[in-house]
Amino acid sequence: MLFLVYHKTVSTHFSTYYHIMARVSGTGSTLKEHHSIFDGLAHIFQQKSNGDVWQFRMWLPNEKKHYRKSLKTTNFNRALVTGKELALELNTNMSVGKKNFGITVEELLELYLENREKDIGDEDGQITKGTWKALRSKLKQGILMLGLNTKVSHIEKDVIENYRQKRTENRNIGAQTILNEQASLNCMWKWAYKNGHTHFEMLDFRKLSKRSHVHKRSVFTDKQYDKLVRYMRTYSSLKNCETVWGNNNRILMTKQQVHLERKMVQDMILILANTGLRIGECRQLVWGNLSDEQTLTNKKTEKKTELVYITVPKLTSKNREERRFFTYGREYFDRLKDRQQFTENHHLIFSMDGKRTLSDNKWSKHWSSLMQGIGINNHYDDGYTWYSLRHFAITKKIASGVDIIDLSKIVGTAVENIEKVYLDYNKEMSRSAALKTFKKNDDGTYSQIRRDEM
């Protein structure tokens, strides 16, 4: 009871309670001075080995440990006040279920990532390796806001409820990005709660309307895409590549290696724009995922169409479902294979050594250089990302008459999602739809025709 009464008044009346403490000289071989706090619930003491600096100790029954801490003062009165404050804080934490011993936010992050790594490749469709690698980046800003060295058990639910405002103070961050980051933080926090590191299950964030704030990513116009295709020829030209130097005049990449890497980036962009593959899926393709190569020739024009059958394994697909589809543009794979050294079935297609794809930083730098080269200087804020190529591919396939159900199977997303997120329905599509009609054939069947061809 003394503990609770003191808690109500201690902040302004420490001196009122000094008389209840009996000052007792230390009698052990290691102690110089020893004083009980709150009838022995906690103690402050001086050790011979620590000179005159006062130490604090308190038994925590819920964690079955002694809490020890240096009070960093040689003054008795100051040590007594600090010791009482600390004892009250520890007791309050225990009363609400907080752990006084516990891991830091930084330690929680590493434990969580280590645990999630076990889910890569599980048959029940947990996460892909690419998703796991992106977790640290998604959690980074929230971790910094919480404080790397902050004890997880000391954090309150609403400590970063203004997450969105803090994230958008210095740069324009999309609402969907913020929602994804908040969701990732709460997945980590739920795991922390389940494993006894925190006393609540979810962090509180101010409400953010997903429906009203989420916008489509920017889609390249035909003119922009044509400009990108032309500029990539310049960007990947050997004469425009330079040797990359490191410290101490050490060569990091030769001019020829830079050239090969840029040519690989060029082919990836062309493949993404033709297939509608997700960037993560494309980066994890191996040569063994390609099969059934076909060449179709138009008898009248002799124009050839190069097809290839692509298998996207479920362990690398975003929705954890394997899909297989034919696509044109096989020539981009063929010329890439002719240039690359590592082309066995198990080798990664978009890799310089067959084992590792380029780092996120490298992919980002190539993209930034290309966007600046075609005059899109603020590509991130304007929404032009690698993912814009997928949007472009889907939009063009619909414009060319690909059935939306077939397209759903090819690109691996629901029909509803194509309509809401990917489809950029423009004026030309509307005009084409207006011209469509049909005629009845002599055998009773119907054929689609254009009104201006009747």
Superfamily grouping for domain 222-420? Intergrase catalytic core (1.10.443.10)
Return the closest-CA partner of residue 277 out of 314, 312, 229. Answer: 312
Structure tokens at 275: 């297939």
Of all helices (H) and strands (E), which one includes residue 179?
helix 175-194
Q: What is the pLDDT of residues 404-440, one digit of tens each?
A: 888 899 998 888 888 776 665 556 656 666 655 666 6
* pLDDT computed for residue 12 by the predictor: 35
Return the closest-CA partner of residue 366 out of 250, 269, 246, 230. Answer: 269
Cα angle 287-274-308, degrees, rounded to a multiple of 5: 40
Binning pLDDT at 50, 70 and 90, where does residue 390 land? very high
Query: Coil, helix or strand for 34?
Result: strand
Sequence-ordered list of residues with C-beta below 8 angstroms from that of 405, at least 6 positions apart, any chain: 415
Query: Coil, helix or strand for 302?
Result: coil
Strands (E), 346-429: none
Looking up tokens 């795991």 gives: 191
d(CA 349, CA 353): 9
Q: pTM for the whole thing?
A: 0.58
Looking up tokens 């082309």 gives: 343
Q: Are 322 and 312 in contact (CB under 8 A)?
A: yes
* pLDDT computed for residue 432 by the predictor: 62
Question: CA–CA distance from 96 to each of 91, 175, 286, 291, 357 (Å)?
Answer: 9, 34, 53, 61, 48
Structure tokens at 258: 């830079």
Looking up tokens 């740069």 gives: 171
d(CA 397, CA 207): 37
Strands (E), 329-406: none
Q: Are 154 and 98 in contact (CB under 8 A)?
A: yes
Structure tokens at 194: 């389940």
Structure tokens at 43: 């103690």
CB count in 10 Å sphere of residue 392: 25
Structure tokens at 296: 């179709």
Binning pLDDT at 50, 70 and 90, where does residue 441 land? confident
What's the burial of 105, exposed, middle or buried (CB within 10 Å: 0-12/13-18/19+)? buried
Sequence-ordered list of residues with C-beta below 8 angstroms from that of 259, at least 6 positions apart, any chain: 236, 237, 238, 241
Strand partners, 127: 120
Kindly state the DSSP code that residue 379 receives in the 8-state scheme. Answer: H
Q: What is the pLDDT of residues 299-320, one digit of tens each?
A: 888 888 899 999 999 888 887 8
Of all helices (H) and strands (E), which one includes residue 291?
strand 290-297
Sequence-ordered list of residues with C-beta below 8 angstroms from that of 124, at least 6 positions apart, any chain: none
Domain ranges across the chain: 2-95, 105-213, 222-420, 424-454
Least confident of 56-60, 359-363, 383-387, 424-428: 424-428
Q: What is the average pLDDT value for the chain, to the nearest integer?
A: 82
Q: Are 383 and 173 in contact (CB under 8 A)?
A: no
Strands 304-312 vs 436-440: parallel, antiparallel or unpaired: unpaired
Question: CA–CA distance from 222 to each of 104, 265, 410, 427 (Å)?
Answer: 51, 20, 22, 13
The pLDDT of 327-352, averaged and rounded, is 94
Percent of the residues in the chain that have a pLDDT greater than 90, as a whole number: 44
Return the closest-CA partner of residue 358 out of 271, 245, 280. Answer: 280
Q: What is the pLDDT of residues 45-100, one digit of tens each?
A: 988 776 789 999 999 887 777 888 889 899 999 999 999 999 998 888 788 776 67
Binning pLDDT at 50, 70 and 90, where does residue 213 land? very low
Strand partners, 447: 439
d(CA 215, CA 424): 12
The pLDDT of 130-141, averaged and rounded, is 87
Return the closest-CA partner of residue 379 out of 223, 262, 231, 220. Answer: 220
Percent of the residues in the chain that have a pLDDT greater than 70, as a whole number: 81
Strand partners, 327: 308
Q: Are 307 and 293 in contact (CB under 8 A)?
A: yes
